[in-house]
Chains A and B, each alone.
Chain A
Amino acid sequence: MSTRAVEAWTLAPLKKFVSEAGVRLVLLMTPAGQVLAQHGFSRAMDVMAASALGAAIMASTGEIARQLSQPPFAALNHQGVRHGIFLAGVPTGRGTIVALVVYELDASSLGLVQLFFEELAADLDAASPKEAVPKQVLAADFERELTNSLNTLFGR
């Protein structure tokens, strides 16, 4: 399974998390759905769909929390018969990063994902460049940047 990153500082923490938690798929992205790194995806379309859905879920739960006058929910877990989905935000020097994790119930567990996610959050915060200014998501050259990112994520 390949692990690739558009933002190089996310790569080492992501590889460590995947190795320790035994998860199948991971996406690291901005709250707007811009992908920073991925593990386990083999098709660009899957990454684009997963990042859009993950960002939408985060936005929805964030709005529910806002309507309840609560701070944003820390994490969301949803389990099926064979797989679980874990979605959570991580504060870093580059702003909040959203992690979408898919794990197999045979190979990992919610407890393991939660445990090693705490380490991932700390590692990402420590590795993030503090002084960098986040890129504008909808820049004029958005399409070219998107293509470049997908090429990086899939080694093309």
Chain B
Amino acid sequence: MTAVAFQRALDLVTRVRGVRGAMLVELGDGVVVAEHLMEGIKGPAVAALAASLANRLGRAMEAAGLGAGVYWHLQASEGALLAVPAASGILVVAVTEPEVNVGLVRLELLRAAQAVT
């Protein structure tokens, strides 16, 4: 994968109306691989915390016998955080407005995850 390919994968997500930013995060380390974020979003903080959360949720799901997690949607009062783990160990994360088309973002996150695998 090249940096251009990573940016193309992020563009799939950020072109959706209401998406404030997208990131590719190394799931194990919680560090940013590539990002495309609006001003005011703390990329490294979101990456570290989202990866930690995804790791723990993944473990919880596996412990419950549900298999590996494929998609997480965390809704907050002023927006949402959505994440899809790719097979390559990269977590594709989107930060959105509250009124975003969640179905469309999910679709593009899954496409981006396939693109970075």
Interface residues of A (CB under 8 A from B): 79, 105, 108-112, 114-115
Q: A111-B25, A111-B26, A111-B44 are in contact. List 6 more A-B contacts (CB 8 A).
A: A105-B28, A109-B30, A111-B29, A111-B51, A114-B44, A114-B48
Instruction: Kindly supply a per-residue 1/0 record for chain B positions 24-59, scoring 1 wherever the CB is within 8 Å of any chain A CB and 0 otherwise.
Output: 011011110000000000001101110110010000
Name the A residues within 8 Å of B55 (CB-CB).
109
Residue of B nearest to A84 (CB): B29
When the two chains form their complex, are residues B49 and A112 in contact, meaning their CB atoms are under 8 A apart? Answer: yes
Name the B residues within 8 Å of A114 (CB-CB).
31, 44, 48
When the two chains form their complex, are residues A112 and B48 in contact, meaning their CB atoms are under 8 A apart? Answer: yes
Contact-size category for B: 10 to 19
A18 to B65, CA, bound (A): 31
Of the residues A105, A108, A110, A115, contact of B45 by C-beta under 8 Å: A115
Main secondary structure of the interface of B (DSSP, over half): helix
Q: What 8 A-B pairs have minimum CB-CB distances, sorted nearest first?
A: A111-B30, A111-B48, A109-B30, A110-B29, A115-B48, A111-B31, A112-B48, A109-B29
Main secondary structure of the interface of A (DSSP, over half): helix
A109 to B50, CA, bound (A): 11
What is the minimal beta-carbon distance from A111 to any residue of chain B, in angstroms?
Answer: 3
Interface residues of B (CB under 8 A from A): 25-26, 28-31, 44-45, 47-49, 51-52, 55
When the two chains form their complex, are residues A109 and B45 in contact, meaning their CB atoms are under 8 A apart? Answer: no
What is the minimal beta-carbon distance from B89 to any residue of chain A, in angstroms?
Answer: 12
Name the A residues within 8 Å of B25 (CB-CB).
111
A114 to B52, CA, bound (A): 13
A79 to B30, CA, bound (A): 13
Name the A residues within 8 Å of B47 (CB-CB).
111
When the two chains form their complex, are residues A112 and B44 in contact, meaning their CB atoms are under 8 A apart? Answer: no
What is the minimal beta-carbon distance from A56 to any residue of chain B, in angstroms?
Answer: 26
